[in-house]
């Protein structure tokens, strides 16, 4: 199943710089592992915001939930999920 997921990040300003750097490095490694596995198909920056729009291709809602809850930055995120379906006007379908 395909999902578009918008993740807005709000790391506390008072977080220790070293802890923040470790958190971001762990997040990057986690996301890149999922990208290599094909479940996290793409990730796009939202210009001018600390946010991204990502496309996931996973087996279902439960798997997406597991992935998102596993994000090291999850406690600092607001997440919006949109399940996707093929559009009949998409020329790539043909």
Is 92 a member of any domain?
A: no
Q: Tell me the two tokens of residue 26.
A: 């762990």
Q: Is 15 helix (H, G, I), strand (E, B) or coil?
A: coil
| Predicted pLDDT at 93 | 78
pTM of the full structure: 0.92
CATH number, domain of 50, equals: 3.30.70.1060
- Report whether pLDDT(92) > 90: no
Instruction: Evaluate whether 60 touches 20 at the Cβ level (below 8 Å).
Output: no
Q: What sections of 38-93 are H helices per DSSP?
A: 61-70
Query: How many angstroms separate the CA atoms of 39 and 59, rounded?
Result: 9
User: pLDDT, tens digit, for every residue of 50-91?
Assistant: 999 999 999 999 999 999 999 999 999 999 999 999 999 999
Q: How many CB atoms lie within 10 A of CB 44?
A: 12
Q: Which domain holds residue 71?
A: 2-87
User: Does the pLDDT at position 94 exceed 90?
Assistant: no
**Edge-to-edge strands of the sheet including 51-57?**
40-45, 51-57, 2-9, 77-84
39 within a domain of the structure (yes/no): yes
């Amino acid at each position: 199943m395909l999902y578009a997921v918008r993740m807005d990040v709000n790391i506390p300003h008072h977080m220790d710089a070293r802890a923040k750097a470790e958190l971001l490095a762990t997040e990057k490694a986690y996301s890149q592992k999922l990208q290599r596995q094909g479940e996290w198909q793409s990730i796009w920056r939202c210009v001018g915001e600390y946010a991204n729009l990502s496309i996931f291709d996973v087996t279902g809602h439960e798997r997406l939930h597991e992935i998102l809850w596993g994000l090291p930055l999850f406690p600092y995120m607001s997440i919006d999920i949109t399940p996707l379906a093929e559009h009949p006007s998409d020329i790539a379908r043909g």
